[in-house]
Amino acid sequence: MLVRDKEYRLVRQSSYKFFGWNEGDAYGSRVNMAQPEKTILDCLDRAGYSGDIPEIFAMLAHSFSRLDLGKLADYAAQFKSQALAQRLGYLLDVLKLPMGDTIRDGLFATSGSKSKCYLGQPSRWGTGGHYHPTWRVVNNIPNQELFAEIEVR
């Protein structure tokens, strides 16, 4: 669908994923807009629609100081996805972003204790890579790709 010469895709979501929004103004119209924490998680949940994991990694790095980590962890639990919690915890650790014990414990509880997952879609990134035992994530995205959107200072 085209709106103002921009292409948009409608993505079907489960009803339990409809939360975390505020009413905002878009070109003079009142619309529901996702809160920043929900946006990060929506992207992580459906990475193929949002530029993929390197873009999400950069969004997390650049917006971290403006995010409410308690809300981020609570919202992650509402997604009912172990892999999403695993990927989020892993990305926060790779970025060395402080999350505190309460947030870490909440993400661990959401991520379960047995399943491993791939950071990126194996169909795009393959199945090789470094296994992170804490989060049970196989980082199958080469570091030069993962860090490509992050400015090193």
Tens of pLDDT, residue by residue over 70-114, are: 999 999 999 999 999 999 999 999 999 999 999 999 999 999 888
Q: What is the pLDDT at residue 4?
A: 86
Domain annotation covers residue 6: no
CA separation for the pair 36, 67 (Å, rounded): 7
Q: What is this structure's pTM?
A: 0.90
Distance in Å from the first CA to the final CA of the chain: 40
Domain annotation covers residue 151: no
Domain count, the chain: 1
Given a cut of 60, whether residue 152 has pLDDT beyond it is no
Confidence of residue 146 (pLDDT cuts 50, 70, 90): very high
- Judging by beta carbons within 10 Å of its beta carbon (0-12, 13-18, 19+), is residue 95 exposed, middle or buried? middle
CA separation for the pair 19, 71 (Å, rounded): 12
Domain annotation covers residue 35: yes
Confidence of residue 151 (pLDDT cuts 50, 70, 90): low
Range of the domain at 116: 25-146
How confident is the model over 8-44, as pLDDT tens digits?
888 888 999 999 999 999 999 999 999 999 999 999 9
Domain annotation covers residue 3: no
Average pLDDT, the chain: 93
More confident residue, 51 or 1: 51
Amino acid at the residue 85: A
Domain annotation covers residue 54: yes
Domain annotation covers residue 4: no
Q: Which residues contact 91 (CB under 8 A, 6 or more apart)?
A: 56, 57, 60
